[in-house]
Amino acid sequence: MIYTITCNPSLDYITGTEGFRLGKTNRTTSQLLLPGGKGINVSTVLHSLGIPSTALGFTAGFTGAEIRRMVEGLGFQSEFIDAGEGCSRINVKIKEFDGTEINGQGPRIRPEAVRQLMARLEKLQAGDFVVLAGSLPSGLPGTFYRDIMKALGGRGVSFAVDAERDLLLDALPLHPFLIKPNHHELGDLFHVTLTEKEEVVPWARALQDRGARNVLVSMGGNGAVLLDERGAVHMLSAPQGRLVNAVGAGDSMVAGFLAGWLERKDYSHAFRLAVSAGSASAFSEFLADGAAIRRLYRTISNEQKGREE
């Protein structure tokens, strides 16, 4: 079983405007409310690919109740814990300006809620996967992801970590199965600018040297790179398509990689399915469904086979 942990989930208010102007009253042309958070996104795409998962995390207040209600409607198992103080955040995303967001802070997590989550994780078994993704709300230490990994050490549980800077670096000595920085995040770790796939390789390998087993680096329109734990380097260009919505594309890649690995235990297949899932979501209004991901996978596989022949 895969367990995704979203410590700071949100209600994402996605709005469209015409001629957005600072300092003026702007009217929306479209609006949508969705449950947000990297772990929730991963569970959503896993469900679309036919892979079961359980979404864990913290919610609070009336927004937290709505997040739980909406997640239940997505069709996968969820077990969110009441944080106890404040309200889960609302994030505003403006469609016309890709990447422009106003993100809330989220609730303060009470110690009892943390104990409840850790007690739930105590039930995990060998062969389970845990996805640790996204930011931490107030009340949680900056070592929280590492603390979870330490608590489950020696049980045969594998971890995927999709987080920035210290949250990611702190996890490396505990040998996560997968980490997924994008090329900007990877460059920031080493104070370099990375634009080409070949430039990514030595820096991704540096993260392997620090303990990561598999390093998957997303590069937007330039494709992706995977350094697998067996020493192989995989590269793929981005499939052809029109960018519609980049939100959740990276989370979709994590879901695609885990789904592909569980299907065949083959890193080449997992990498292609990761790129297919990330690209299909980027080409979709929302997170891509399984059929769209599989169609794109066939296209990528046929193109790669043609180059090999």
Active site residues: 251
For residues 274 and 281, is the Cβ–Cβ distance under 8 A? no
**Shortest CA distance to 145 belongs to which of 105, 123, 119, 173?**
173
Q: Which single residue is written with the structure tokens 């795409």?
A: 45
- Cβ neighbours of residue 46 under 8 Å, at least 6 residues apart? 2, 4, 52, 53, 76, 255, 258, 259
244 burial level (CB within 10 Å; 0-12, 13-18, 19+): middle
For residues 183 and 194, is the Cβ–Cβ distance under 8 A? yes
- Residue 55 φ then ψ, to 5°: -90, 125
For residues 84 and 58, is the Cβ–Cβ distance under 8 A? no
What CA–CA distance (Å, rounded) separates 19 from 32?
19
